[in-house]
């Protein structure tokens, strides 16, 4: 059986946690597609051509331990605007989405471009301040020395670039269910997502 859950939204809205928890709840596989762009972006920081980097990504690149830094996030957002980079990553994502046993993919264009036929599409948002606060806690917990203003600026710059690009911009699919997590605890957001998915499983 194949069953695809597409979860999109801006940076730090809660997609990652919701996706992981939902996948664990239903026993589905989970792919954080942002990691593909982060791994590609990270390789460009060493001087590799972005298209070449995307075409030759390997498990070692995806397992790198410094993919979560703000610098790599910005590089990811920049390479993500290059159509050939996106093209190089499509087949892997679609194969993952249609694997047997169910799959959850989170990103920016999953419901619109990668899996337009996904059985469930969620678009997860939260206010800028809430997103920056959550990301700040994550980064400071990992030992990064960064201010709230820097985090907010990083998120806004990326969202603007990710939304403005011509190929596969960040936007909700017309048939996506909107999930605003600003006022929700993570548990409530996950429970709501599970409820929506359960309804579609029939």
- Alpha carbon distance 10, 20 (integer Å): 17
Q: How far is the CB of 73 from ligand DC (least distance, A)?
A: 5
Contact yes or no for 79/53 (Cβ under 8 A):
yes
Region binding ligand DC by CB under 6 A among candidate stretches 19-27, 49-57, 102-110, 131-139: 102-110
Binds ligand DC (CB under 6 A): choice among 21, 61, 154, 162: 162
State yes or no: residue 158 binds ligand DC (CB under 6 A). Answer: yes
Of 83 and 198, the one with the shorter C-beta distance to ligand DC is 83
Of 31 and 195, the one with the shorter C-beta distance to ligand DC is 31
- Alpha carbon distance 111, 162 (integer Å): 15
CA-to-CA dists, residue 16 to 7, 35, 109, 132, 134, angstroms: 9, 11, 15, 15, 12
DSSP one-letter code for 119: S
Size of the site for ligand DC (CB under 6 A): 15
State yes or no: residue 73 binds ligand DC (CB under 6 A). Answer: yes
Binds ligand DC (CB under 6 A): choice among 14, 50, 107, 111: 107
Contact yes or no for 177/196 (Cβ under 8 A):
yes
Binds ligand DC (CB under 6 A): choice among 44, 77, 112, 181: 77
Binds ligand DC (CB under 6 A): choice among 50, 57, 88, 109: 109
State yes or no: residue 11 binds ligand DC (CB under 6 A). Answer: yes
- Alpha carbon distance 183, 25 (integer Å): 23
The residue among 79, 92, 43, 46 whose CA lies nearest residue 64 is 43
State yes or no: residue 108 binds ligand DC (CB under 6 A). Answer: yes
State yes or no: residue 37 binds ligand DC (CB under 6 A). Answer: yes
Contact yes or no for 5/25 (Cβ under 8 A):
no
Contact yes or no for 20/63 (Cβ under 8 A):
no
State yes or no: residue 125 binds ligand DC (CB under 6 A). Answer: no
Of 75 and 197, the one with the shorter C-beta distance to ligand DC is 75
Computed on alpha carbons and rounded to an integer, the radius of gyration of the chain in Å comes to 16
Per CB under 6 A, residues contacting ligand DC are: 11, 33-34, 37-38, 73, 76-77, 80, 107-110, 158, 162
């Amino acid at each position: 059986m194949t069953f695809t859950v597409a979860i999109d939204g801006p940076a730090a809205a809660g997609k990652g946690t919701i996706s992981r928890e939902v996948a664990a709840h239903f026993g589905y596989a989970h792919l954080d597609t942002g990691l593909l762009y982060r791994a590609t972006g990270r390789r460009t920081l060493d001087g590799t051509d972005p298209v070449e980097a995307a075409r030759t990504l390997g498990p070692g690149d995806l397992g790198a331990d410094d993919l979560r830094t703000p610098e790599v996030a910005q590089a990811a957002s920049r390479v993500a605007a290059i159509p050939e980079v996106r093209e190089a990553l499509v087949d892997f994502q679609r194969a993952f989405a249609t694997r047997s046993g169910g799959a959850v993919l989170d990103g920016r264009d999953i419901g619109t471009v990668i899996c337009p036929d996904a059985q469930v599409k969620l678009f997860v948002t939260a206010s800028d301040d809430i997103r920056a606060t959550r990301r700040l806690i994550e980064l400071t917990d990992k030992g990064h020395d960064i201010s709230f203003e820097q985090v907010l600026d990083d998120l806004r710059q990326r969202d603007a670039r990710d939304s403005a690009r011509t190929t596969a911009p960040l936007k909700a699919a017309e048939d996506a269910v909107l999930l605003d997590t600003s006022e929700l605890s993570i548990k409530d957001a996950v429970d709501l997502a599970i409820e929506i998915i359960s309804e579609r499983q029939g």
